[in-house]
Structure 1
Amino acid sequence: MEIHEIKQQLTIAQVLDHYGLQANQNNMLSCPFHNDKTPSLQIYPQTNTFCCFSSNCKAGTGDVIEFIRLMEKGTKREAILKAKSLLGHVETKATQPEELSRVAILARYLDGCRKGMGNGERARVYATERGLDWQTLKLGFTGDKVPEVWNKNFKESAAAIGLISKTQDGRYLNRFKNCLVFTLQNAQGHAVGIYGRSLDQGHYYLPGPHQGLYPEYPNANTQKIILTEAIIDAATLQQHTIITHQYTVLACYGTNGFTQEHEQAIRELKQLEEVILFFDGDEAGKEGTKKVAAKLQEIRKDITISSVATPEGEDVNSLAQAHEKEIFTHLIEKRTVIFSTEKREVPSTQANSYKLEIFPHRFLYRTATANYHIKGDLQNNFETLRVSLDIEHPTNGRKSRSKVDLYEDKQVEKLARDASDKLGLRADLVQLDLEALTNLLEQHREKQSTSKEEGKPQSIQVPSHLEVKCKEFLTKPSLIKRLNDLVGQAGVVGEETNRIFLFGIASSYKMPETLHALIQGSSGSGKTHLLAKVSNFIPKEGKKAFTRVTEGSLYNYGMYDLSHQLICIEDLDGMKEEAQLAFRELQSKGVIISSTSSKDENGNVNAYERIVYGPIASMACTTKGEIYEDNMSRCFLIAVDESHEQTIKIIQYQNKKSAGQIDEKREQQITEFLQNCIRILKPYPVINPYADKVQLPEEAHKIRRLNALYQAFVKQITILHQYQRKQDAQGRLISEKEDLQIAAEIMFESIVLKVDELDGSLRQFYERLKTYVKTKGNGHHQSYEFNQREIRHALHLSKSQLQRYLNDLIQLEYIRQAGGFANRGFSYKVLYWDNIQTLRAKVKRHLQGQLDQLELISA
């Protein structure tokens, strides 16, 4: 079964049901991946995906397979196998009835132990002191009493396998009381044995011969095993990826605890190359090393057997407590070979003698046998290692060129033979070189992948002392005013209404309903600067800023790379129509889907879908807002302040900054504080009980969408006040009348722009023009004529900027040409003397009257 078939057939609801989880009617539930007091995990049944919005959680966004991987705390491969089993595609081997009984009993017992670990503070302290991560290792803890919830039948079954014992007076005693519990598994991954490490002293196993291996049976592809003396030593190594990435860890049950089950497991490993014995540094450990090494050499003569020189009186766990994890890699690298084979020693020497030389878009590997040139970069598909390879003779320079998948043994063997025949080299040495080269390329690709992952912005957890300060700030009255003041103190000069409006829109990026802003202004008006300043208040892990967006680039992001991100477009005018279409679809539908084609491994061209999920919040800048008809109905329209007073404020700020009078460190501290405030906001659903009590002006452009924008902004104001608002029985925040009042005041200019047929920058120019004409007209302004040069000088505008304004006003019949000639210049006259202040007052009365009525109704 392919991965895409699993995703098509297995629903997120089935996965939740399997783990006993249930979402509420808003498809929200408490996140199982972190300590979640209020639901922060959003489920999307339509796409079978999830997203945790908590800043304290690293789960992020994913599909059904990722959900299973996080729940099982395993690898993606293990999650895929688990998903197949949920669909009924896994066939398990028949198990004897008595073994099934043992497995079932231990499964229930261990489930209770793991829950007991969460409540056992003493056990957690003990595990921490021993350097054990109990959650990663899935350790359990059992107290001194037998659980009261066990019925009689289960107690008798547990006693039969030795979990508990029955006294003569009928009481049951816990064999593993006050023990840290480790699970021993059989080849099918079922628990068949237990190791209990007492918090006081001693250790315990189930009665009878040991069953199962710890931590689990080795994978069939295992090449190197580290065999430890004790289970707690194996657990210590198991939690370090620096070890598990290269080796499989397996525990013995003491110096005499190398069992037949160990023997059989090692016999069956066809690709095994080496067993490394890492026993204690005492006499018993040294004797045990010799004894087990001899037994291994007897059963596997084809492998290398080596031992680690553990410092005197130390063991693996004591080393972990006293040293950094690098001590293990150091000791393992210095290991001593006890038994080996000639066949194995030659490649080992060669592999350690030569290094991979890395250049831009090519690699070079030199050995005594030949020089190996890799052309191009390595593919990110970890299932193959296809390369263009040139094998060069080291003396005469002749080359054998080919394309090969280094993960295909048959291809590698054939390549070694063909190249050797052509170049006159030894085929066995060429093949050994190719095997060593494959390992080096694997390591390089893994390192590249890790560095890319580390470069991605991760969800940042707010430190507890800073979280307290943020919550204290968010719970005080007049929140929006105080937020606006901080935004100003952080370096956003003037624009008192616009800046808090944009802050509210930007902060919606991780909320159920995201918002969008289109910032209008003439060239050089500071719109891009305003966008950049406001976007700085959004945590870096929640935003992406673009100077330019090519036509198909948005379709090429990963499935969830843009989900709940703030997208900032510095120049919307520079976007091609194809890119604008994708951007609009992300704004409206929250998803873009493209159909494309590619060749499969057989050269056949197949069609497939590329899906990029939102939703996104967005802010974009434009000098031509009126031409984006589709965008304007999706976005809040915001006009930057181009007044003379705003210009003076900006110049004063710039001068103070140059003079060193602005505390830039303080501005940065405020910015980081606001980022943390946004991080601790949670994406609650919101209900507005007053939604039908306030109607927007009917003259507004596309009133349906404007009303939806207003209601969405009211909800965002409520979310910003979430630490001050009540919740209903379903966990939804309830909007208050204050939220509607605040939203109306902040949105007022945007609503006026929707009513006015002139866009923001054009309206500001027209008002300045009318004021100038009235002043120069001396009571005869209606007949006053003016030319372009006069207005350019008076209003300090560029020629192109003024020309655009005049052309727009002529087309709208607000002014007309009054005379002149093309070679000498034209004169103009104002034709339509509208009164924007009257319009603003009308809209203000319309809204305020309804808001005042809310107060009367509640009174």
Structure 2
Amino acid sequence: MEISAIKERLSLSEVLKYYHLEPKNSMLHCFYHEDRTASLQVNLEKNFYKCHSCGKSGDVIQFIEDYETSTGSVLSKHEAIKKAESLLINNGKLIIKNTRGTAENLGQTDFSGERSALFLENMFGYFRKALYCSTPAKQYIEKRNLDNSILEIGYNSGQFHHGERKSEELINNAIEVGLLLDKGLINNRTKEKAYQVFGNKCIVFPLKNKSGEIVSFYFRSIIDNNNSKHYYLKNRRGIYPGYPNKDTKKLILTEAIIDCASLLQIKEIIQKGCHTELVEVISCFGTNGLNEEILQAIKNWCHSEQSEESKEIIFCFDNDKAGKEAVKKYAELLKQECSNITLSVVEVPNKDVNETLQLHDETIFTELLEKRKFLFSSEIDKGDSLTLGRQFESLDTQLKSAESAKSAGFFDYAQNDKHSVILNEAKRNEESTKETQWQSATEFLQQKDLLKSLNQLIEQAGIIGEENSRLLLFLITISYLNKSPLHGIVQGSSGSGKTHIISRIADLMPQEDVLRFTRITESSLYNWGEFDLFQKIIIIEDLDGLKEDALYALREFISNQVLRSSVTIKDKKGNNKSSHKIVKGQFSSLSATTKGETYEDNMNRSFIIAINESEEQTEKIISYQNKRVAGIIDKNGEQKAISFIQKIVRNLKHYEVINPYATQIQLPNNVKNKRRLNEMFQSIIKQITILHQYQRETKDNFLITEIEDIENAVEILFESIILKIDELDGSLRQFFEKLKKHFGEKNRQNDTLFTRFDAMEITGFKKSQLQVYLNDLVRLEYLKQIGFANRGFKYKISYNDNIQKVRKGLKEEFAKQIKQLKSETSGSQTEANRKPNHY
């Protein structure tokens, strides 16, 4: 057999199966060197592999030669070719399965019985290759956030029965399965019989039987047509992506195949693991599409040898009326068929799973899984911490039942710690709620320790820790009522909670004034009405997703509060003419980003707030989450706090502010962009003064700033000023401080080296984010990189800066200036009292 024919027919995928090698995310551990982290990438589409560490690469024949040699069986090139040929000859089915999409084999199967599956297998191979040749198809799956390197997706261009591939047998087989429809048509050009292609201009997903063979297809049109989007072959059979494994503990059931495909891209799903439990996904065929085959497959999975009690079905249907009704219907059906199964539902925040994963990072699905709701009251705590919330009623109900039980003598609270804790917590929450109920918003704003009380109220609304940061974000956000609103960028590593905090701050604002965006296209800001963005709050959940043109428009809005563009419009006669479009943007904004210095121009115009990623803050959040799930935190109390803060914001009026001490407070000389930071510093003082408007003196309708406002501004803004001074951004600084804490002292004495695995263990960061931080610190010369890539780099701290000394010095400088201010003010008042009064 020719070498070219072997390479064409034998796929790398089948070779990997022969050697029992299973790549994860297209990666294997290289067999040519010690490889703790998988560095050998396999491209199953192009039948090619390459090790990014040692550089070893090649095709299927080279892979056989290299792998056999690494195991001790030294093979020559000729022997490797013979080995590859034997794999084809010894398995006739392999020859057919691995000649996908070629002119010679597409229709060359005996169409009877199981051979029909081989025809569909060959057809799907052709569809797979067609996807790589179609730009519109690739653009469509990119728009739907689908990754064809992970998923099995094809494209039906409608050309599979033309050219060299065309044969009578191919036509007959295609008609038999329904890929071609004989409608008695004649091609006007060739005068030959023509056929209508089923699923033309559609992406294709395979449906598989219990043996893993393709037995049918699902087609999704890439053309927006509301009347015809979804197609299935006649006599629809099979399940997408396949039958569930009996060892799987959790089975996610989606409404649509594209939703299912979206979940299959998530790492936990790909790796068949959600924490320590196996998880798989299968799809229904719509809200009425849990057919008999799917139901029987689920029943077989439920009643497999493994204990039924440890299994759970998680519904993940669309967030609409039809989806919710389908969940209710199928939950009742499955409860009858599998009595001991646990049933739960994930409520997606957007239209469906695919749209949710388009608009959010994939980590949101992990969060949604943790917050899933269990559907039957009998499903209480089976060892899963996620079910703890089902053990408790609302605090109001529980408080009454607990007190009733106590008065009836059912238990002694002094001897029952759990109920005692719940009762005491419930009473405290009830008292704090009553406290906010009797106070009006204006009474609250007249409190002496207003900022402290407001901060406590923000915490009661569900924002835990980050005391100064949350207060700064609140002050930035309420500035949308002013003529010069403020802007904030929250920076932190992936999964640190940056999007969560800006979203919760937005919840505290009057919702009619809040606009939330996951992404902003290049021209969208120019297309709003003239006053649509006037006195609004804009929340941008992911600044990293904005392209440069969108960032430029945002910068112009922040700087000038207006966008002016020249546009082309049609007059009444249909003629094109130029017009001047204006959009005015008096809005405050909050954005989230993982990147530090990428948006320097935007950051110069905004306050930078770094997420606190310390272990102490993590413990606070986890403790709060656990209490909330256990029913100890009153959710009604949270909502009442949010509503009360919204009333406070609505009661604030816009004032211009005079700061008589503005010339007497100086920022440090070593701060970057001192001019702009000074303006921002004065703006925060102004916001604090406006917040105290019911307590401040007014003069000619101007609020007068007091020294207390400056003191509060310094404390609240201190970390943001440090970030302006520091060369490292917030999360990078926290990462470097952890390294210094463990390696800094040793490094000065013994020149201690550490690897990225040491850094991973110390800091707790994931591999990808950790490598980015290490590279940044090497580039900035804070770390020195030693060694070679194939043996693994080692690092040592080359610049052990002292940011704590900078912080201390800055605090002392501000304290000195404020003390002097108070002293001078006190002296002026004493001097004024000594002067005689003249009437």
Q: So what's the TM-score if we normalise by structure 2?
A: 0.46
Q: So what's the TM-score if we normalise by structure 1?
A: 0.45
